[in-house]
Structure 1
Amino acid sequence: MTELHPSQLSQHLQMYARAKWSSWGSLAISLGLLSLGVSLSPGVKQCKTWLLGASVATLEVGRRQRHTAKLLQESLGDIDRVSRLNFQSWMNKQTQPTAQLAVTVNAINPNWQPENLITDPIEYVNRVQKHVALVGGTGDGKSTQAQYFSTRIGGQVVVYDVDSAKGDWAWVPPDNLIGDGGLPEVNKAMGEALDHLEKMRVYRKTVSKDVPQEFARFYIAEEFPVLADCDNAREWIRQHAKVGRKRKQFIMVLAQNDTASNFALEGDADILDTCFVRIRLGKKAQDYARTALKSPQLEQWLKTGGKKRFMVDDCPCELDLSTWGMGATQEPPSTNDSTNDTPTTSQQPLNEYEQAILTWGQSHAGELLKARTLQQSTRLFADVSAEDIRIIFRAMADRGLGEVDGMSDRLGWKWPTVV
């Protein structure tokens, strides 16, 4: 078959079909003649002889045709495949070279909006009375989400993070940032949290079912797959997941994947489903929209929205936190000089990037901060381009927060020293 030109396929297939059917036809005719000769009366002996001879001759013709069909089949190989090739060849002849196959693709509507859009994830979480499993990659805004949730939900914020860099949790009281001592320190703190959870049970039973806000806690567990090696981790997440909200003990566990093993819940995956709202950020949200929800439009909608669009369980959410921040602006130290040259800070709330820069500047007054320094020293700026950082520098200077020095890629920012 490989030696045949496509133009010969049709001819050879026709020859094969004729030989095949001729062989079967000859066999049928031969049997018919033989049957007719047998049925004749003995008086017509000469007719019987002629019919028998014709039957044998027809049978020989059929045998030859069958042999021809067999040879053609061997030369053609896979007849079904050849038939398809023959059909393609015929179509190529019947179709003009300029003919085009038009495929209509439904373009994504840039104005498309999801029907089940939510704009207040806090309201959703409080309504279902669950905790939060925050899933996202580096730079997707997990710390901003954690900061926003802790402000809205309330309670004393406690962070478990064994790999935090300076400035990562600048808004958290230093004593409540657990992890400098590694996993042993976190394990001890989790044990203390379990003790506190038990005390709240006793309080609700013996004093009042309404736990005072002073006993409320908001726990943030950064990179829980790492913290899962703590002996108390499994019990900590299980107990808080089940009864924490009743006792005003809220937990937010952060990870880059939302499997049960990442949250130390092997064998208890139902706890993750029934006690946690999954918030997926960045590419994790896009992948979920494409693979789990089978919605290319939702995936595209998430991509075009950047960090302000994410998934809350199966609901798309749009919430812009780019200009939001917890860092209260700090008033500069006062002096007796009525013409104090200390820079005046803006009253507009700072976002997490501005707060991190301001915190650094006030502890390194007079030192010039470069974009490259921020990228190398803190994970918060690891995925932020140098040009975007310099834009933040200029914006802060325009608001009276420090000053810029230099131009173009040499531009830096500093917090002036108090004279």
Structure 2
Amino acid sequence: MTDLHPSQLHNYLQMYTRTKWTYWGCLASSMLIFFASADIKPKHLKPWILGSSTAVLIVGKNQRQTAKQLKQTLGDVDQVSQLNFLSWMKQQTQPTAQLAVSIPSLNGSWQPDNLITDPVDYVNRVQKHVALVGGTGDGKSTLAQYFSTRIGGQVIVYDIDSAKDDWSWVEPGNLIGDGGLPEVNAAMKEALDHLEKMRVYRKEVSKDVPQEFARFYIGEEFPVLADCDNAPDWIKQHAKVGRKRKQFIMVLAQNDTATNFALEGDADILDTCFVRIRLGKKAQDYARSTLKNPQIEQWLKAGGKKRFMVDDLPCELDLSTWGTSAIAPVSPVSAEVKPRVTADELLKTLEYPEHDIVEIGLKQSGDWVAAWKCHNLNRSLRNINLEDIRLMFQGLASRGIGEVEGEGDRLRWRIDSSHLDKL
């Protein structure tokens, strides 16, 4: 193929296109003139018309010949176009070419738009239970403890493979599993009986179950517990009506399939009654494969244990300084006088919204505080509904921070100096 200057190539391509269309135009015109001559009456005109048709055909033939010559000069015209395009691409993608890609910074200044910082508040607002998914060492037990202190109720743990100090913050009699699956199975039956008693209580006494009947169940490695005969009924019944009767369940596993939670054939229950909290690599894999959001994936990796996923929402909650002392068992009373906790010291250990609630209680000098009063005295608390504030009252009281009285809409909370002396 002859080497051509780009301007020459452009001219030759135009000439080739014109001669090709001229050839086809002459061929079509010659045929039209030929067929038109059949309808002309004066016979002496026909030779002239046939001659015209032949002349047009000869012109077309010459144009055809010219097109062939141009094609030989250019080679294959389509190939010329392709080669020119490939040559341009090669120039643009040389190793010396620079490719600028804008990637959002994932340093500490970037945060997702839909970030939540209080997973307990989220769970309480949607009124669901929790399916906690994560690998060994991802912090499942710590997060379970945190939830139990916030939601309140008697904590009962099912774990047939617990090690020493795994659940040191749970009453020894409420850690069930040393007797293996039979012991857990019997405990699940007792829990179902208690759930039925709460149904009767709500029907015959009051729709508001007293806090003394509230329970917070934790099922560690539920795929193992799922072999219990009572496991399917236990999780289904509590999932559907447990929250109304103040019976909260948190089931722990390393994968969130319906089979792992004894819900095979009832996967809808897992979707409608549980908030999925994914920790560690499980959260990262979910962001990448399901949400298809590598930016969130990198954000999760950069934050360690304090960042995880709550359903489809990224969450950041640092529990590294919270530790297991939040509800540690009370040690025997000694002769040594324990230093009194000051109001400022107590407030430093709390986060929003509990911090704001306790601050209101301290300013009220031991007076009873109702949920609606928190709304009136603190603008930031107006974003939280009254029922959630009452749940926080109960959670604070269960940790020895103040006390509660009343039930349902009439539940109130207060804190005074005597409570600070006991902390």
Q: Is 1:100 aligned to 2:97, yes or no?
A: yes
In the aligned structure 2, how far is the partner of 1:96 from the partner of 1:158?
Answer: 64
Change (3 A) 1:67 1:99: same
Following TM superposition, by how much is the alpha carbon of 1:24 offset from its aligned partner in structure 2, in angstroms? 1.9
- Given candidates 264, 283, 286, the residue that maps to 2:284 is 286
Could you tell me which residue of structure 1 aligns to residue 315 of structure 2?
A: 317
Equivalent pair of 1:108/1:297 in contact (CA under 8 Å): no
Equivalent pair of 2:27/2:57 in contact (CA under 8 Å): no
Q: Is 1:124 aligned to 2:92, yes or no?
A: no
Change (3 A) 1:119 1:154: same
Following TM superposition, by how much is the alpha carbon of 1:141 offset from its aligned partner in structure 2, in angstroms? 0.6
Deviations 1:356-375 (A, max 9, x none): xxxxxxxxxxxxxxxxxxxx
TM-score by length of 2: 0.61
Equivalent pair of 2:134/2:253 in contact (CA under 8 Å): yes
Equivalent pair of 1:234/1:264 in contact (CA under 8 Å): yes
Could you tell me which residue of structure 2 aligns to residue 25 of structure 1?
A: 25
5+ residue gaps, structure 1, are: 335-346, 348-419
Give the percent of matched residue pairs that are identical in Structure 1 and Structure 2. Answer: 66
Change (3 A) 1:83 1:231: farther
Could you tell me which residue of structure 1 aligns to residue 221 of structure 2?
A: 223
Equivalent pair of 1:218/1:249 in contact (CA under 8 Å): yes
In the aligned structure 1, how far is the partner of 2:115 from the partner of 2:303?
Answer: 13
In the aligned structure 2, how far is the partner of 1:329 from the partner of 1:122?
Answer: 23
In the aligned structure 2, how far is the partner of 1:29 from the partner of 1:231?
Answer: 91
Change (3 A) 1:287 1:108: farther
Name the aligned partner's letter for residue 176 of structure 2: I
Following TM superposition, by how much is the alpha carbon of 1:66 offset from its aligned partner in structure 2, in angstroms? 9.6
Q: Is 1:50 aligned to 2:51, yes or no?
A: yes
Following TM superposition, by how much is the alpha carbon of 1:149 offset from its aligned partner in structure 2, in angstroms? 1.6
In the aligned structure 1, how far is the partner of 2:3 from the partner of 2:263?
Answer: 62
Name the aligned partner's letter for residue 130 of structure 1: K
Following TM superposition, by how much is the alpha carbon of 1:239 offset from its aligned partner in structure 2, in angstroms? 0.8
In the aligned structure 2, how far is the partner of 1:291 from the partner of 1:116?
Answer: 19
Name the aligned partner's letter for residue 55 of structure 2: A
- SS across alignment from 1:316: strand
TM alignment of 1:23-172, pairs within 5 A: 23-35=23-35, 38=38, 39=40, 41-44=42-45, 46-48=47-49, 50-51=51-52, 53-54=54-55, 57=58, 83-89=81-87, 100-108=97-105, 110=107, 111-172=109-170
Following TM superposition, by how much is the alpha carbon of 1:218 offset from its aligned partner in structure 2, in angstroms? 1.6
In the aligned structure 1, how far is the partner of 2:260 from the partner of 2:254?
Answer: 9
Equivalent pair of 1:23/1:64 in contact (CA under 8 Å): no
TM-score by length of 1: 0.62
Equivalent pair of 1:131/1:251 in contact (CA under 8 Å): yes
Change (3 A) 1:103 1:198: same
- SS across alignment from 1:195: helix
Change (3 A) 1:275 1:92: closer
Name the aligned partner's letter for residue 21 of structure 1: W
Equivalent pair of 2:157/2:175 in contact (CA under 8 Å): yes
Deviations 1:72-92 (A, max 9, x none): 9xx969x5x874444233565
Could you tell me which residue of structure 1 aligns to residue 245 of structure 2?
A: 247
Could you tell me which residue of structure 1 aligns to residue 200 of structure 2?
A: 202
In the aligned structure 1, how far is the partner of 2:206 from the partner of 2:37?
Answer: 112
Deviations 1:179-214 (A, max 9, x none): 444444433322222112112223344445444444
- SS across alignment from 1:219: strand
Name the aligned partner's letter for residue 227 of structure 1: L
Equivalent pair of 1:141/1:307 in contact (CA under 8 Å): yes
What number of residue pairs does the alignment pair up? Answer: 329
Equivalent pair of 2:155/2:216 in contact (CA under 8 Å): yes
5+ residue gaps, structure 2, are: 335-340, 342-423
Could you tell me which residue of structure 2 aligns to residue 189 of structure 1?
A: 187
Name the aligned partner's letter for residue 152 of structure 1: R
Name the aligned partner's letter for residue 21 of structure 2: W
Name the aligned partner's letter for residue 54 of structure 1: A
Moved more, 135-144 or 19-28: 19-28
Equivalent pair of 1:222/1:254 in contact (CA under 8 Å): yes
In the aligned structure 1, how far is the partner of 2:83 from the partner of 2:44?
Answer: 58
- SS across alignment from 1:231: coil
In the aligned structure 2, how far is the partner of 1:44 from the partner of 1:105?
Answer: 76
Equivalent pair of 1:117/1:318 in contact (CA under 8 Å): yes
